[in-house]
Every structure is written in C-alpha cells, then in structure tokens.
Amino acid sequence: MKLSVVDERKTPIQEPYVLRLSGWSVERYLKEAPDDARWEFVRGEVIVYVFSFHS
C-alpha cells in the first residue's frame, strides 16, 4: 500500500508526520500493511510513522 499525504493545496507534506487510519481490522492490517514500514495496529487503528533522517 502506498500513501500520499498532501495539504489542502495538494502540496505534499514534508516528513516527519504520523498518520492514524481508523476502521481497520487486524486481518486487514496483516494483509495490507507493508513489512518494511513503521506501521502498528492499536485498537482498530493503524498508526503510520514517517520520518526522514536526511543530514
């Protein structure tokens, strides 16, 4: 799954940010959440942490 986060002007939001996606089941999380990302499932919500460590 690929997410794109934009503001009201459709400009991409710069990192870091945290997304909360509600209404997910644990089955959907296990099926759709990428293995190589910082995602976690908490009480019916998926929490996505997006950080960039550019120097």
- Mean pLDDT across the stretch 20-47? 90
3-state secondary structure the chain: CCCCCECCCCCECCCCEEEEEECCCHHHHHHHCCCCCCEEEECCEEEEEECCCCC
Report the predicted TM-score, pTM, of the whole model to 2 decimal places. Answer: 0.68
Boundaries of every domain in the chain: 1-55
pLDDT of residue 40: 93
Give CA angle at 16 (28, 33), nearest 5°. 15
* Among candidate residues 26, 28, 31, the one with its CA nearest the CA of residue 41: 26
pLDDT tens, 6-31?
Answer: 999 999 988 888 989 999 999 999 99
pLDDT at 55: 47
Examine the pLDDT at 1 and tell me if it is beyond 80.
no
Q: Which of 1-5, 20-24, 33-37 has the highest mean pLDDT?
A: 20-24
